Amino acid sequence: MIEVKALASSSKGNCYHITDGKTPLLLEAGIKFKEIQRKLDFQTSKIKACLITHEHKDHCAGVPDMIKNGKNCYMSKGTAEAIGVEGHRVKPIKSKEPFTVGTWTILPFEVEHDVAEPLGFLLANEDGDKLLFATDTYYIRYKFKGLTHILCECNYSLDILNKNIAAGRIPKVMKKRLLRSHFSLENVKEFLKANDLQKVREIWLLHLSDNNSDERRFKDEIQALTGKAVYVP
Amino acid sequence: MSQNKNELAMIKKDTVDVVAEKVKAFQENGDVHFPPSYSPQNAMKSAWLTLQGIQDKNKRPALEVCTRDSVANSLLDMVVQGLNPAKKQGYFIVYGNTLTFQRSYFGTMAVTKQVTGAKSIDAAVIYEGDEVDYEMKNSRIVNLTHKQKFGNINKENIIGAYATIVLQDGEVYQELMTIEELRKAWSKAQFWGKDQEKEKKGSTHDEFKQEMAKKSVINRACKKFLNSSNDSNLVLDHFNHTDEAAEEAQLEEEIQTNANGEIIDIEYNEPEQEQEPEQPSDQPDGDLEQAAMDFEQKEAQTTSGPNF
* B195 and B291 part of one domain: no
From A121's Cα to the closest Cα of chain B, the distance in A is: 11
* B99 and B165 part of one domain: no
Q: Is B303 in Cβ contact with A144 (below 8 Å)?
A: no
Q: Is the pLDDT of residue B273 over 70?
A: no
Task: Flag whether B239 is in a domain.
Answer: yes
| pLDDT less than 50: residues of chain A | none
CB atoms within 10 A of CB B289: 8
Q: Determine the pLDDT at residue B296.
A: 39
* B237 and B102 part of one domain: yes
Which domain range does residue A68 map to? 3-231
Q: Is the pLDDT of residue B302 over 70?
A: no
Which domain range does residue B66 map to? 5-110+231-271+284-302
The pLDDT tens digits of the residues spanning A188-230 come to: 999 999 999 999 999 999 999 999 999 999 999 999 999 999 9
Q: Determine the pLDDT at residue A53.
A: 96
* B224 and B250 part of one domain: no
- Domain tally, chain B: 2
DSSP A156: B
Task: Flag whether B278 is in a domain.
Answer: no
The pLDDT tens digits of the residues spanning B81-107 come to: 999 998 899 999 999 899 999 999 899
Q: Determine the pLDDT at residue A144.
A: 95
Q: Are the CB atoms for A51 and A104 separated by under 8 Å?
A: no
* B105 and B182 part of one domain: no
Task: Flag whether B187 is in a domain.
Answer: yes
- Domain tally, chain A: 1
Q: Determine the pLDDT at residue B292.
A: 39
SS3 (DSSP) at A13 = strand
Which chain A residues have a beta carbon less than 8 Å from that of B263? 142-145
Task: Flag whether B67 is in a domain.
Answer: yes
Of A137 and B16, the one with more pLDDT: A137
Which chain A residues have a beta carbon less than 8 Å from that of B268? 105, 124-126, 128
Q: Which of A96, A139, A208, A209 to mutate to test the interface with B (most CBs of B within 10 A)?
A: A139
* B101 and B131 part of one domain: no
Q: Which amino acid is at B245?
A: A
* Domain at A25, CATH number: 3.60.15.10
- Non-local (6+) Cβ contacts of B239 within 8 A are B81, B103, B111, B226
Which chain B residues have a beta carbon less than 8 Å from that of A103? 271
Q: Determine the pLDDT at residue A91.
A: 94
Q: Determine the pLDDT at residue B4.
A: 67
Q: Determine the pLDDT at residue B243.
A: 84
* B94 and B136 part of one domain: no
The pLDDT tens digits of the residues spanning B188-222 come to: 777 777 778 888 888 888 889 999 999 999 999 99
Q: Is B284 in Cβ contact with A86 (below 8 Å)?
A: yes
Q: Determine the pLDDT at residue B196.
A: 81
Q: Determine the pLDDT at residue B285.
A: 36
- Asked which of B164, B199, B229 is the last residue of a domain, the reply is B229
Backbone angles phi, psi at B128, to 5 degrees: -55, 135
Which chain B residues have a beta carbon less than 8 Å from that of A116? 294, 297, 301
Q: Which of A57, A44, A52, A42 is nearest to A10 (CA)?
A: A57
* B100 and B52 part of one domain: yes
Task: Flag whether B56 is in a domain.
Answer: yes
Q: Is A105 in Cβ contact with B267 (below 8 Å)?
A: yes
* B12 and B105 part of one domain: yes
